[in-house]
A and B are shown apart, each in its own frame.
Chain A
Amino acid sequence: MRKTVNQRAWLFVLPVIVLVAFNALLPLMTVVNYSVQETFGNNEFFWAGLTWFEQVIGSERFHDSLIRQMIFTFTILAIEIPLGVVIALAMPRKGFWVSVCLVLMALPLLIPWNVVGAMWNIFALPEIGLMGWGLNALGFDYNYTRQPGAAWFTLILMDVWHWTSLVVLLAYAGLVSIPDAYYQAAKIDGASSWAIFRYIQLPKMKRVLTIAVLLRFMDSFNIYTEPVVLTGGGPGNSTTLLSIDLVKIALGQFDLGPAAAMSLIYFVIILLLSWVFYSLMMRNEED
């Protein structure tokens, strides 16, 4: 779209900037503050420069958490995005069933995250949970409290169950926003279903899919409550993702300095990767 230059458009954006900046500035300052200082308690702080950053970047513990986190995030992205799109494509566009589908699909999103974790915790237990019992009855040796592999499987399954609907809702809304005329024109042009998907549906869904990818990427990188309630980071630390590790350091060991530094490093990683994602998906948008 040809955008016109209009500096007065700032007025439209001002309320948004004010509200968000009001909330964002203080935490940012606080975190930066802590990350470059050292304390031995009693509210005494000493300048520590980049000590914490070096310590965190060099620590093997951080590397391990980071790798686990990357694996987790990219796995769920690889599952949830295509799955969400496929389901959105298959959903009815008009009629009574649309409401039913939308409401039912939205339900997992509405459950508080601690309840989600608790639900799956019981659901997947071998003795008293339907899924746990079911899998063992089918012949699998499944116990997520003791097997890292099973723990990962359960964690990923829980996330897919919880969040795929977000992708579905976004993709579906994007899909129904495509005017009928495009489908009519494609019919007149003799296009196959695959061609319709590739040349009409997918391009028109690009923006909403970008939002879905970025949202899931960021939220999964920061995920905390559900895995904590499900596995507590275990067995051992096999499912200790970045956020869990961070909280352990900050609250468990009261190492606010390293925790703050870690938060910042973390943030930069997400920022960089998001920027890359965003640029990749949005290239060719400007005329």
Chain B
Amino acid sequence: MAKITLEGMGKSYAPDPDSDPAWALRRLDFEFEDGGAYALLGPSGCGKTTLLNIISGLLDPTAGQVLFDGQDMAGRGPDQRNIAQVFQFPVIYDTMTVRQNLAFPLKNRGVPAAEIEARVAEIAEMTELTGMLDRRASGLTADGKQKISLGRGLVRDDVNVIMFDEPLTVIDPHLKWQLRSKLKELHRRIRRTMIYVTHDQTEALTFADKVVLMKDGEVVQIGTPVDLFERPEHTFVGHFIGSPGMNLLSCGVGNGRAIVGGAEVAVANGEAAANTGGRLELGVRPEFVRFAETGIPVRVSRVMDAGRYRIVETLTEGGEILKLLIDNETGIPSEATHVSFDPANARIYSDGWLAGGSRAA
């Protein structure tokens, strides 16, 4: 188990990485704490797999360092960093039984047979593979095979970190949640550092204690799932997290409030926003918007039924779309009405970044 530190770390595939766009991964300073559950979340091509491979040692960084417990890992391959990795598709030894698969990493390290027996039994119980130990590994379903992959990572006790590269890609949809909860449970039980790469926000938000949200090779925000949901630091975060994503309305600022469609609306960072230039937008999640007597004037344009709740699309006077997420009991006004929200849930963004935030323009 180890603390993993990334210092000024960046990666470029270009031979002469001078300009910014050439960097697949821009400079990053971050620390993965020992025993934490982290998710690297982002759309395809954002660099999350590159980051994972640099941590595991399959790729070398172009700049900066990767440290395990303070030790520089430069020049050390994956086998020297004591990591385990679960890949996008099940990687198992087809000709061996499940038991032999799990025992393999230990056998290669010369662990005595009795100890191997015990460890394998323990891991099999943890991953619910006990009944299948003596079956040929190739005969299992996809989720079974991924469990074997996972088991091979768990069976060694000198593992610093377990990496997951979109491991649920080939799993049947109705089994995904099962495997996800299993992973979360396992993490709580064995407390080893786990880094989980995915483009699916549900997977990331349910698994991780801390989420690293990435876009175009850059880390946009790091925080707990709640942080990312309630206090997005960039409009991208607001848009990517949550379904539907955060509402964005162009606004002005005055008197420490946002001005939308002529109406003054109180927000959480009104003061900070007053001093910034750039293109201003008001961000508020559909979950926090309510119909009201006063506030921003809107007109209801569409209602979509999502089962347990409804998504109502309204249009502001400026022609922008504002969505509300309301339960099935609340009534929906048919004529023009207003919407309002708690100022604590609304923020002003300047050129995409949270006004007054750590990376404000």
Contact = CB atoms under 8 A, between A and B. Distances in A.
Interface of A: 179, 181-182, 184-185, 187-192, 195, 199-200, 203, 284, 287
12 contacts: A179-B89, A181-B87, A182-B91, A185-B91, A185-B149, A188-B85, A189-B152, A191-B104, A199-B93, A200-B93, A203-B94, A287-B138
B192 to A, nearest CB: 15
Contact of A185 (B85, B96, B138): B85
B95 interface: yes
Contacts of A203: 93-95
Contacts of A191: 104, 108
Central interface residue in A182, A185, A190, A195, by most chain B CB within 10 Å: A185
Interface stretch (B10-18, B75-83, B119-127, B266-274): B75-83
A284 B94 CA distance: 10
B116 to A, nearest CB: 13
B108 A199 contact: no
B105 A190 contact: yes
A204 to B, nearest CB: 8
A190 B96 contact: no
A199 B77 CA distance: 22
B108 A185 contact: no
- Give the interface residue-count category, chain B: 20 to 34
Contacts of A182: 91
A39 B105 CA distance: 72
Contacts of B139: 287
B180 interface: no
B109 interface: yes
Contact of B91 (A181, A190, A192): A181
A109 to B, nearest CB: 31
Contacts of A200: 93
B89 A181 contact: yes
A185 B87 contact: yes
A120 B77 CA distance: 50
A188 B78 contact: yes
B108 A190 contact: yes
A187 B105 contact: no
A80 B77 CA distance: 37
A189 B58 CA distance: 14
Given A189-B108, A190-B109, A184 B58 contact: yes
Given A184-B87, A189-B104, 5 more contacts: A185-B85, A185-B87, A199-B96, A203-B93, A287-B139
A191 B138 CA distance: 19
A179 B136 CA distance: 21
Given A182-B91, A185-B91, A203-B95, A190 B136 contact: no
Contacts, number: 46
A74 to B, nearest CB: 26
Nearest to A2: B141
Contacts of A284: 136
Closest 10 CB pairs of A and B: A190-B108, A189-B105, A185-B91, A181-B87, A287-B139, A199-B93, A187-B79, A203-B95, A181-B91, A188-B78
B97 to A, nearest CB: 12
A199 B95 contact: yes
A281 to B, nearest CB: 13
A190 B109 CA distance: 7
A195 B108 contact: yes
A30 B93 CA distance: 50
B78 A184 contact: yes
A230 to B, nearest CB: 42
B37 interface: no
A187 B136 contact: no
Contacts of B105: 188-190
Nearest to A183: B91
B212 interface: no
A192 to B, nearest CB: 7
Contacts of B152: 185, 189
Contacts of A184: 58, 78, 85, 87
A187 B77 contact: yes
A181 B96 CA distance: 18
A207 B79 CA distance: 30
Contacts of A195: 108
B148 to A, nearest CB: 11
B91 to A, nearest CB: 4
Contacts of B284: none
B260 interface: no
B156 to A, nearest CB: 9
A199 B95 CA distance: 7
B154 interface: no
B354 interface: no
B84 interface: yes
Contacts of A189: 104-105, 108, 152
B78 to A, nearest CB: 5
A284 B97 CA distance: 12
B79 to A, nearest CB: 5
Nearest to A284: B136
